[in-house]
Structures are given as C-alpha cells and as structure tokens.
Homo-oligomer: A and B are copies of this chain.
Amino acid sequence: MDTESARLRAGEAYELTADGGISHHVRTAHRAVPLKDGDSIDWFLEESLERQRSQRLRSQGFFFPLLEETRMWLVVVLTGVGIGIAGAWLDVLVKWLVSTCARVVHKSDILLAVAELIPWGRSINNGPIRALSQTFIYVSLAIAFAGSAAILVKTYAPYAFHTGIPEIKSILNGYVLDAFLTPWTLLIKALGLALAVASGLSLGKEGPLVHVACCMAFCLSRFFKQFNYSESRRRKLLAAAATAGVSVAFGSPLGGVLFGLEELDTFAKEGEVMWRGFVASAIAAMALQWVNPFGTAKLVLFQVTSGSNTWRGFELVPWITLGVIGGVLGSLLIRINVEVALYRKNSLLRDFPVTEVVAFSALTATISYMVVFCRVQSSELVANLFQECDPAKGDYHGLCNPSAIWENVFLLLLTAGIKLVLTAWTFGMMIPAGIFLPTIAIGACLGRAVGLLTQAFQRAYPKAWMFASCPPDPTVRCISPGFYAVIGAAAMLGGVTRMTISLVVILFELTGALSHVLPIMVSVMTAKFVGDALGKDGIYTVWIAMRSYPWLPSVEPRDQGQTGGDFMRPFEDLVVIEDGVNTVQELEDHLKHWDYRGYPIVDGQTLIGYVTHDNLQVAVDHLDGGNDSSAQTRKCVFAHKSSFGDDGQIDLSHIVDQAVLQLRKDTPQEVVISVFQKLNVRHVMFTQNGKLLGMVTKSDVVSLLTSHFPHSGALATGSPGDWAPWSPEEVEG
C-alpha cells in the first residue's frame, strides 16, 4: 500500500466520519480503512466508488469524463506496448543467453585454451573426456542460470515464483494481493524468467508473461488517482493487461482475448472489459511485431507447412486417440504435480528452495543432455516437431528417416515421459515457470509418435480399406506427422488446462493451420471429456484450491435438493448487534471482543441491516474522540427513523451497508451459489417475514465449492515462497 493511496483512503474515511448528519439520500460510499493484502474487495462498494467519482466528474462538464476515459485508454495502450516490447526483448535475451551458452559448450573455448597450455592436454580434447567436460559445462551453466533465478526470487520477490495465473485469477475475482504486483516483482519475474528459460528447465514463459503484464498495468495505474479510487476499475484494467500478456506470449492476439474470456472468467461481467482486452491484445501484438525479435515480421511462431490442406475421415481415429491420451496424461500431470507440491511442503525441501532448484536443474540438465530431443530449448523442439518432413530442409536428428520409425517413436515417447515428470516437478519450484510450453512439447512428441505410427501403418498396407481415401500414388504424402504433433499438443493442453475455445484459437494462431481447425477442435473436445472424467479441475484451479484463494469457480453447482437454509449459519450462531440497545461504549467492547468482517443489525430478530467491522470501528472512534463527552453512554440506532436523536440516541444509519441482498431460506442451494458467482457479493442474508434466519458468506461458498478437492488449502500457509497465509475473508460466527 503506497502512501498516496493510503492517504487517499484515509481521506475518504475522514469524509465519512464528518458527514454523520448528511441526509440519507446523498450520502456517499467510502472505504473506511485501506484494503490490505488478504482482503477481498466488496464489488458493490467499489462499483459505487467508481460511480460516485464519474458522477462528480460529469457534473463538472464533459471535459473531465473525457480526460478520465483518455487516462484509462492511455494505461491500456501503454501496457500493451510495454508488454509487447518486454516480450520481444525477453525472447532476444533468452536467445542470446542460450546461444552464448551453446558456444561455450561446443567450442569449450576456455577448456581448449587450458588444454593447449599443458603438455598432455591435447588428449583431453578428444574422446570421452571431452564429452564429459562438455556435459559438465552444460550442467554448470544450467545450474548457474537456475540458481541465480531462484536466489533473485527468494531474496527480492517471493511472489515472482510459479506461473502467476492462479493468483491473477483470484485477484480478478476480487482478492487483494498488491504485493503480487509491485515493480520489484515485475523486474525479478522478467529477469528470473529469462534465466529460468535459458537454464533449460522444463518450463515456459507464457504464464509468467501474463503476470509481468499485470504488474506493468498495476504499476502504471498507480500514477492515476482514478484507479486508486476504485479497485473494481483497477481489476478491469488488469484483465486487459492479462489478455495482452497472452497475446504476446503466443503471438496470438485473439487467443489472448479468449483466454481472458474463458480462463480468467472476467468478461462474463461486462462487454466493455472484453472490448478493452481486445484493444490491449491487438496493441501488444503490434508492438511485438514491430520489435520483430525473430526477424520474420510474423506473429506465427511455429509455422506449420502442411503440404496438403485436406484430411481424411479415417484420421479421426488417431486424433481421438490422441485426445484420450492427452486427457489421461494431463490428469496424470496434474496429480503428480499436486503430490510433488505436497511433498515439498511437508518435507525438508520446504526450507531449502534454492538448493532444490539447483539440484533439480542439475538433474534436468544431465538427463536432457543425454536425450537428444530434450537437449534443445522446448520451443525449438516444438518447431521441429510441427514441421513436415521436407528433403529440401534437412532432417532434424533423423526424425524423417523412414527406416528408423521404431527408434524415432521410442525416442519421442521417452522424451514425452521425461518431460512429463520434469514438468510436474518444476511447476511449483522457487522460480518463474509456466506450464504451457512444456505441455505443448509433451503433446507434440506424443502426436508426432502417433503420426509416425499411422504413417508407417498406411505405407505398409496402402491397399487397406480404411486408407482408400489416400491418393493412390505412394510418393504423395497421405498422412502428415507434423500436423499430428499439433493435434497432440492441443490434446495435452486440453488435458492439463481444461480450456477449450481459447486453446483452439491459440493453437491455430500459433501454427497458422487455419484449415485444420476441426481436427484440433475434436482432439481438444476429447481430451476435455476424458480429463473431466478423471478429475474436474484444470491445473490452475487445483493450485487455487491448494492455496485457498477466495476464488469462486464459475462451475454450475449441483445440489442434491439442499436449500440455502441447509448451509447458512443460523441466526442463533451469528454475532449480531441489537438496534438501539448498545451504547457507544458497549459497541467499542464488542469491536474489541469480536473480529469478524461485519455484523448483521437486528431489532429482536427483524433484520435492520448489515455493518462492516471497519465502518463501525471508524464511526465509534470518531464518536469517542469527539467533544461530546456524554457520547459514551448514549445508545446507538441503526434503523433510519424520522426523528432520531430525540431521546439522546446517536444515529448511525449512515454506516449501514447500502446493498444487502436478502433471500428466502428455501431458495435452492444452486441459486444461492449462482447469486454469489454472478453478483460477486460477500454475503447474503436469509429472511422470512422480515426476520433474519441466517446468513451465508463468500468464504462459505468457496469452501463448499472446493470441498471435493482432497488437498484444499494444503499450501495455504508457509509455502516455500514464504507465502502469506490467506486470512479467511469473512468469519461471522
């Protein structure tokens, strides 16, 4: 919380305490106390703050609202340009690191120089010793890169570890975690990401880039007062930034928008947000294209050069098979990842995160150096696997050798297996790490293997009935294994993330394979079906559940006939404030004794309203500090009455929450949950005939919806990242 916004919020709080006498209708909304990390924002309140501000501006003429809009767009555009350039330079940096590294390993300049100096040195430069020393340098460099990334993260910005997408999902849902978006985190995440990618660990840059984009937008937003006024406005900006991040990560402007739509689940709320994400995404992609890191002036990263644009009906069989494999292995990857995360949390590893990174990067580098497909950067591997065999272009590690099909299939499956295990471990270590690229690499290996097998089968039995649709000329290619790799990648991603439409769009923007949208759709569909059967949640949802963020999944809830009444906290268990009964002194004692988010106000059992702890605290403090020494013993009234104060009572009706939602207690549980999901409220009261029967809070609903996952909250405290435990948002007794 910087001082500017703290001052601002405190200012608002002061305004509140001063307007006790203002009439009911013109009273304004306030944040009584600054939001702090771990809070959840009150969407109703934030929206009204934004509304008040824009009304005030509109009342000052048309210029100010225009300026306000311009500022919003300015931040959107700057974020887009910024992340575009940052993404491009990150690529350049990684390329430079990797190529330098490769030069060192292959030329072994220093080693050669040393060898020249000593008399028996020449013999070192040949044979197994040379190979060993190359391996040693390769591994050392990997360790150096990964280790420095881990040290950077641990020392300067513990929030820069992992992918960041679970946190961004939660923040967009209303969670407050400003420490996650500081300039420091921005810098460390970007730098650490470059090092981590260059280290050859099994991770991608996609998720972290989204985090970087959000950090940029957040830091920029700090310069403009309007975003400090309203957290909901800031979240709309962050949503746009996140789409820009995806847009740059994949060179996929549409995919970015759809990712925001499907995975971040923000645009469901308003078309305007979608529109802003669209603009941010387009601008970011343009900036990326302008910087042109690869000198191709193309956004398409892994251009697929499929000779034939058509596909045959029988190919649906291997494609659906790939979908099934993707669903199964995706679920497996999630499960291993969860187990690793739990093991890390509950073992010695917890205290030595940097050591873990160093050791694991040494292991990764050693294994990778032995398996030829693992040795290169994942992106290079994927680009080659997506490529069709073309004699003019040369053969990538013998992949196109028709006489070595079984060897190639074995090598591809081995690579996929190794990468699966490495990825499951890496995703969660103390370094910036995305899951997209490794998943694509695993899927591409599997897909290429299935493609090679299908091709071999077709070549062996060209006359079989199912291959009748292939061209009769055996020299014409009927099956394109490169495209099978794309399908495999789609299926694997579907299994791991459980995204659908955004995946398809990202994949075909990534490959340019527009003509093959349908097969990609089919495999993603199958993978999701199979994956969902093995466990409902994608990897991001699982991490959110493990970290216990107050994030409401947008799943359709299924009750067994329960009603709201069945899972509300009944009236008897609630800590309430009686209207017109308590004196200021008693309220003070109450506030000291209880530490809940807020309290329903009742008269007998009749519901009067709801007041938050913070608002009540500020009001009581003000009364306490006032000149009127008799205030302590006067009773407080919360209901709005025509003649208040006549018998010495203090009117506190202005601090009662404006928007309290009431439902009947026999409202079906599903409806109650969808009220929370759609309106983003923090609590709902159940009343009947005006009487308060009970209430349900957002945290009740979150824990209900994540209860099916066995490890909910497993990482909520004391994770390797020294993660602040999530302080339960509402704990009404």
A-side interface residues toward B, CB under 8 Å? Answer: 24-25, 44, 47-48, 51-52, 54-55, 58, 253-254, 257-258, 261-262, 268-272, 274-275, 278-279, 282, 285-286, 289, 297-300, 309-310, 500-501, 504-505, 508-509, 512, 514-515, 517-518, 521-522, 525, 528, 554-556, 558-561, 563, 603, 606-609, 639-640, 657-664, 666-668, 670-671, 674-675, 678-679, 687-691
Residues of B within 8 A of A289 (CB): 518
Point out the residue from B25, B262, B285, B501 that lies within 8 Å of A518, measured CB to CB.
Answer: B285
Residues of B within 8 A of A666 (CB): 24-25, 658
Point out the residue from B271, B522, B556, B690 that lies within 8 Å of A689, measured CB to CB.
Answer: B690
Contact A297 B271 (CB under 8 A): no
CA distance A300 to B517 in the complex (A): 11
CA distance A608 to B688 in the complex (A): 7
Chain B: CB-nearest residue to A608 = B689
- Contacts A274-B500, A512-B514, A679-B678 given; indicate if A658 touches B662 (C-beta within 8 A): no
Point out the residue from B257, B512, B559, B609 that lies within 8 Å of A664, measured CB to CB.
Answer: B609
A616 → B minimal CB distance (Å):
17
Contact A659 B664 (CB under 8 A): yes
CA distance A516 to B289 in the complex (A): 12
Given pairs A282-B521, A661-B661, 9 additional interface contacts (CB within 8 A): A55-B561, A254-B517, A269-B678, A270-B556, A289-B518, A607-B689, A608-B689, A657-B664, A675-B679
Taking the full assembly, how many copies of this chain does it contain?
2
CA distance A609 to B690 in the complex (A): 10
Contact B514 A515 (CB under 8 A): no
A361 → B minimal CB distance (Å):
37
Chain B: CB-nearest residue to A286 = B518
Residues of B within 8 A of A275 (CB): 500, 528
Contact B690 A606 (CB under 8 A): yes
Chain B: CB-nearest residue to A54 = B558
- Contacts A253-B521, A501-B257, A679-B675 given; indicate if A690 touches B607 (C-beta within 8 A): yes
Contact A518 B662 (CB under 8 A): no
Contact A525 B690 (CB under 8 A): no
Point out the residue from B47, B310, B678 that lies within 8 Å of A671, measured CB to CB.
Answer: B47
CA distance A689 to B289 in the complex (A): 60
Contact A51 B691 (CB under 8 A): no
Q: Can you list 26 A-B pairs, Cβ within 8 angstroms, ordered by A?
A: A25-B563, A47-B670, A47-B671, A254-B504, A254-B517, A257-B501, A262-B274, A271-B554, A272-B556, A278-B500, A282-B525, A285-B518, A289-B518, A299-B517, A508-B514, A509-B517, A606-B689, A607-B689, A608-B689, A639-B689, A659-B668, A660-B664, A661-B661, A675-B679, A678-B678, A689-B690
Contact A51 B501 (CB under 8 A): no
CA distance A522 to B77 in the complex (A): 13
CA distance A378 to B688 in the complex (A): 62
A314 → B minimal CB distance (Å):
13
Chain B: CB-nearest residue to A605 = B690
A177 → B minimal CB distance (Å):
25
A468 → B minimal CB distance (Å):
16
CA distance A563 to B24 in the complex (A): 11
Residues of B within 8 A of A639 (CB): 689
Contact B517 A514 (CB under 8 A): no
Residues of B within 8 A of A254 (CB): 501, 504-505, 517
A446 → B minimal CB distance (Å):
22
Contact B662 A51 (CB under 8 A): no
A516 → B minimal CB distance (Å):
10
Contact B48 A668 (CB under 8 A): yes
Residues of B within 8 A of A286 (CB): 518
Of the listed residues A275, A310, A521, A609, the one surrounded by the most CB atoms of chain B closer than 10 A to its CB is A521
Contact A674 B679 (CB under 8 A): yes
A558 → B minimal CB distance (Å):
8
Residues of B within 8 A of A670 (CB): 47, 51
CA distance A608 to B687 in the complex (A): 10
Residues of B within 8 A of A55 (CB): 560-561
A309 → B minimal CB distance (Å):
7
Residues of B within 8 A of A509 (CB): 514, 517
Residues of B within 8 A of A663 (CB): 659-662
CA distance A690 to B603 in the complex (A): 10
Residues of B within 8 A of A678 (CB): 269, 678-679
Point out the residue from B47, B500, B515, B679 that lies within 8 Å of A298, measured CB to CB.
Answer: B515
Residues of B within 8 A of A48 (CB): 668, 671
CA distance A556 to B607 in the complex (A): 31
Chain B: CB-nearest residue to A638 = B689
CA distance A96 to B51 in the complex (A): 58
